[in-house]
Amino acid sequence: MRMSKLYMPTLREVPSEAELPSHKLLLRAGMIRKLVSGIYSYLPLGYRVIRKVENIVREEMNNVDSQELLMSAIQPSELWKQSGRWQDFGPEMFRLRDRNDREFCLGPTHEEIFTDIIRHEVKSYKQLPLSLYQIQTKYRDEKRPRFGLMRCREFIMKDAYTFDRDEEGMERAYFEMWKAYEKIFTRCGLDFKVVEGDSGAMGGSDSHEFIAMSEVGETQIAYCPKCDYAATDEKAVCSYDIHEEIGEELEKERVHTPSIKTIDNLVEFFDIGPDKFVKTLIFKVKDEVVAVCIPGNRELNEVKLVKILGVPEHELELADETIIKEATGANVGFAGPMALREKVRLLVDSRVTRMKNFVIGANETDYHIKNANYGRDFKGEVVEDLLLVQEGDKCPKCDSILKMDRGNEVGNIFQLGTKYSQALNATYLDENGKEQIMFMGSHGVGVSRTVAAIIEQYHDDNGIIWPLSVAPYHVIITVVNTKKEEQIQLGERLYKELNSRGIEVILDDRNERAGVKFKDAELIGIPIRITVGKKANEDTVEFVVRGKDERLEISSKEAFDKIKNEFEKQGLIF
């Protein structure tokens, strides 16, 4: 590609709405443009990277005998109603109607559609196991689309679905995908961790997430430095030592606490630690009001809560002022577990039952209650663990101290069991002619998000530093002065020779200042730069690897060897 012809609308200014490096750099390097919130156009350079990632994914899927096909993005509501997810998916689903008023959605994922295809065609155990995938555009009306390609409303996903005779087969397929994903993300150059995930709206049992590490990532994970335990904060078991207090239950006391509502203010007022309080959070869940009691020094894990309640996440809302007043009889800030209105469901984290003489809201404006005790003063449904894990908690496997880290979820594997096959009746006949339900798996890679996750790990102040495996072009030849015939000639010759060897090259043949050319090359992150300048007539060029300080003055032949070297270092074929 000649730079003079390349459509690469770079930006000098950092767009103000962009926070993450990947978002800024994709915009600045002219790789993407926003159409509307969470919806982007992929411009030529950006799309080349997307295609590189897609191809890595494709190769590794094919390697495990998963077969590529392509389904429609438009899906009829009937199938989703059969699985129960037409309701459960909630506002994240883009819905539409055709001219005959039939309901459809823009596919956020494709479990139902793949199951539907299979149930009509696969009838015998001889046709199983089966693994199918597609690389396709998905639609999710995310509550908060943000961070460029990280959280979009339209994005590219690889989704694979496996169909097996039984649980064992499903598990085998799961671990095969696991291995394939490790290869994919390694080939993309990513530093990643595999962690236990919550299966959420997908249903099923086991799930693992592939997290590309990043200090500013959206996903928080807890991991054990001693054993192999690692999980998203949503999933992680929260375990810590609480001082089980012994001694007397003291007489409870109503204390006037005018306008003192937050834990911080209460800590100051009572002059005791936050672990001596119990917070009562009030939620609206469909038509029900649910109060949740947790220790004052800990955070609630809403994913665990919705699981206990058996509702989809979008149906859980923090109660508004009116509901709180109705449920507690007091203004916001004074909710407690005692004397709640009858209809309110009360859940209590198990650790509250082991605390003694703690402070709670009095359900009376401007009052709290001191020396409250579970059992004596209130009772509720005790739930083992409703808490969000935090640094310093105990590893549920080996009791060491957990650490926290951040990253972006780039892939997810799920064991679905029979959730969809049962609902949609995907059955087969076994050797004895007996009808059996299929066991399924669902396995996603966020292709467009992976591109952003790579940039998060590969950039500096000047721009992107693509790993060769996903770079839009491998080499850029920068002709310093296009008015000099010998420079143009050498540049053209190298351009042709590299192209003929299958190397993807940009020839910067623009009539621009050298500084501008170098800046652009760095911004768009081409891994190898060959500069053709003053010594062109001696066949000497400058060789630079993006992100490294070293500049070598070498012959064009040596430059070729160096390129070969770089390819081999990254396990690629020159």
Give the footprint of ligand ATP on this chain (CB under 6 A). Answer: 109, 140, 142, 151-152, 155, 157, 409-412, 444, 446, 448-449
- As measured in angstroms, the least distance from the Cβ of 530 to ligand ATP is 35
Q: Which is nearer to ligand ATP, 137 or 265 (CB)?
A: 137
- As measured in angstroms, the least distance from the Cβ of 166 to ligand ATP is 24
Report which of 193, 211, 206, 230 is spatially closest to residue 396, judged by C-alpha positions. Answer: 230
Q: Interior CA angle at 396 toward 393 and 398, to 5°?
A: 100
Q: Which residues of 531-543 are buried (b: 16+ CB within 10 A; e: fewer)?
A: bbbebbeebbbbb
- As measured in angstroms, the least distance from the Cβ of 444 to ligand ATP is 3
Distance CA 427, CA 241 (A): 48
Name the one residue in this structure whose structure tokens are 């096909």.
69
Identify the sign of the CA torsion 273, 275, 276, 279.
Answer: positive
8 A C-beta contact, residue 429 and residue 445: no
- As measured in angstroms, the least distance from the Cβ of 202 to ligand ATP is 7
Q: Which is nearer to ligand ATP, 364 or 456 (CB)?
A: 456
Q: Which is nearer to ligand ATP, 198 or 349 (CB)?
A: 198
Q: Which is nearer to ligand ATP, 195 or 536 (CB)?
A: 195
Report which of 336, 361, 340, 351 is spatially closest to residue 386, judged by C-alpha positions. Answer: 351
Which runs of consecutive H residues, i.e. helices, occur in 29-125?
Answer: 44-63, 77-83, 85-88, 111-121
Q: Which is nearer to ligand ATP, 41 or 570 (CB)?
A: 41
- As measured in angstroms, the least distance from the Cβ of 223 to ligand ATP is 18
8 A C-beta contact, residue 163 and residue 433: no
- As measured in angstroms, the least distance from the Cβ of 104 to ligand ATP is 20
**From the centroid of its chain, how far is CA 401?**
25
Beta bridge partners of 358: 372
Name the one residue in this structure whose structure tokens are 């009572």.
270
Asked if the peptide bond before residue 108 counts as cis, ω within 30 degrees of 0, the response is: no
Q: Which is nearer to ligand ATP, 426 or 447 (CB)?
A: 447
- As measured in angstroms, the least distance from the Cβ of 534 to ligand ATP is 47
Q: Which is nearer to ligand ATP, 140 or 368 (CB)?
A: 140
Report which of 516, 521, 542, 540 is spatially closest to residue 531, judged by C-alpha positions. Answer: 542
Phi first, then psi: what are they for 525, rounded to 5°? 80, 25
Q: Which is nearer to ligand ATP, 193 or 325 (CB)?
A: 193
- As measured in angstroms, the least distance from the Cβ of 153 to ligand ATP is 7
